[in-house]
């Protein structure tokens, strides 16, 4: 099977930066006896694992059959699988910019990427079991793929996934996110430009903005929702010394106040600042 004609066929796609990387590496390790995740029995088993309906199974199987008939599509499917689940260097957030395949697969373009996500479940199961994750937690965690597949169906009348959800769903299969009953949890680094302080006696908490954040006159970050306030906007400040912190407070209803307050550090302790580890909580669609 020659690479050159295949790369010519998908030349426009492979010029997309987020997809073109590591092509040679992925093709070197592509199975020579066909892709396991294109087989009908694999589709049926793993659609059941994530909780998809029977009509989804038959549709996804039909798209997988279409892919399997075209060596170029097979190679592209393997390449996407490799980038998401085997590469040691690929930045998974870039997968959200994978190109549409409508020109090559028509309505099945979304199912192509759903199949790619399904292809990562066996590795995810092995990882979760090796770390003692309960089976119920595993299965509940995987159901988010079905939630997004239903969302795609509601929008396009066929089963599939939009590429922008690929980085999010990778979290479910990489051990970064777990669903516990109704909520999802991720251990992350706090990236917001905010600092929280707590009164050592009363336990009251106050949030201060970090230095140099431009706010509108309504207290929202300038540019939020595409709205800017060049005339009446203002910039936050914060100053921390040995005795106190002085800065811009954030009201409990989440707006910044154009004033400064000072908190003595013998009474107020910093409990959250950028770079601290946090536990994110997400609410998936459902009941």
What is the per-residue pLDDT for 179? 96
pLDDT of residue 20 exceeding 90, the answer is no
CB atoms within 10 A of CB 48: 12
- Candidates 13, 4, 169, 26; CA nearest to 105 is 13
Residues contacting 4, CB < 8 A, separation 6+? none
Longest dimension (CA), the chain: 72
Mean pLDDT of 247-272: 96
Backbone angles phi, psi at 281, to 5 degrees: -120, 130
Distance in Å from the first CA to the final CA of the chain: 49
| pLDDT at 2 > cutoff 50 | no
Residue 7 pLDDT exceeds 60: no
**Sequence-distant (≥ 6) Cβ neighbours of residue 116 within 8 angstroms:** 37, 77, 80, 81, 84, 166
pLDDT category of residue 3 using cuts at 50, 70 and 90: low
Model confidence, pTM: 0.81
Q: Cα(82)–Cα(97) distance, rounded to whole angstroms?
A: 16
What pLDDT score does 146 carry?
A: 96
Q: What would the mean pLDDT of 15-32 be, rounded to a whole number?
A: 83
**Sorting pLDDT into bands at 50, 70 and 90, what band is 44?**
very high
Determine the average pLDDT of the residues in 93-114: 92
pLDDT of residue 18: 67
Residue 104: band (very low, low, confident or very high) from pLDDT cuts 50, 70, 90 = confident
What is the reported pLDDT for 12?
59
Mean pLDDT of the chain: 93
What pLDDT sits at residue 1? Answer: 43
The pLDDT score that the predictor gives to residue 6 is 56
**Number of C-beta neighbours around residue 31 at 10 A:** 9
Compute and round to an integer the Cα radius of gyration of the chain. 24
Does residue 188 register a pLDDT over 50?
yes
pLDDT > 90 in the chain, percent: 85
List, for residues 204-255, the tens digit of each pLDDT value.
Answer: 999 999 999 999 999 999 999 999 999 999 999 999 999 999 999 999 999 9
């Amino acid at each position: 099977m020659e690479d050159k004609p295949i790369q010519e066929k998908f030349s426009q796609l492979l010029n997309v930066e987020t997809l073109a990387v590591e092509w040679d590496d992925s093709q070197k390790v592509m199975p020579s006896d066909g892709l396991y995740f294109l087989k009908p029995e694999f589709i049926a088993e793993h659609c059941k694992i994530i909780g998809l309906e029977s009509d989804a199974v038959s549709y996804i199987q039909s798209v997988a059959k279409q892919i399997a008939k075209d060596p170029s599509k097979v190679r592209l499917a393997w390449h996407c699988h490799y980038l998401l689940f085997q590469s040691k260097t690929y930045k998974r957030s870039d997968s959200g910019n994978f190109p549409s395949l409508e020109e090559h697969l028509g309505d099945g373009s979304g199912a192509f990427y759903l199949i790619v996500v399904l292809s990562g479940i066996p590795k995810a199961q092995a990882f979760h079991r090796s770390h003692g994750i309960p089976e119920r937690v595993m299965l509940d965690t995987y159901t988010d793929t079905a939630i997004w597949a239903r969302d795609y169906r509601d929008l396009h009348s066929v089963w599939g996934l939009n590429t922008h959800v690929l980085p999010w769903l990778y979290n479910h299969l990489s051990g970064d996110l777990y669903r516990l009953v109704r909520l999802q949890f991720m251990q992350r680094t706090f990236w917001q430009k905010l600092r929280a302080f707590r009164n050592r006696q009363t336990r009251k908490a106050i949030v201060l903005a970090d230095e140099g954040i431009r706010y509108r006159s309504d207290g929202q970050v300038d540019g939020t929702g595409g709205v800017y306030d060049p005339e009446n906007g203002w910039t936050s400040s914060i100053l921390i010394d040995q005795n106190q912190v002085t800065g811009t407070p954030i009201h409990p209803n989440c707006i910044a106040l154009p004033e400064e307050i000072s908190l003595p550090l013998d009474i107020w302790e910093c409990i959250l600042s950028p770079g601290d580890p946090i536990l994110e909580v997400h609410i998936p669609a459902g009941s």
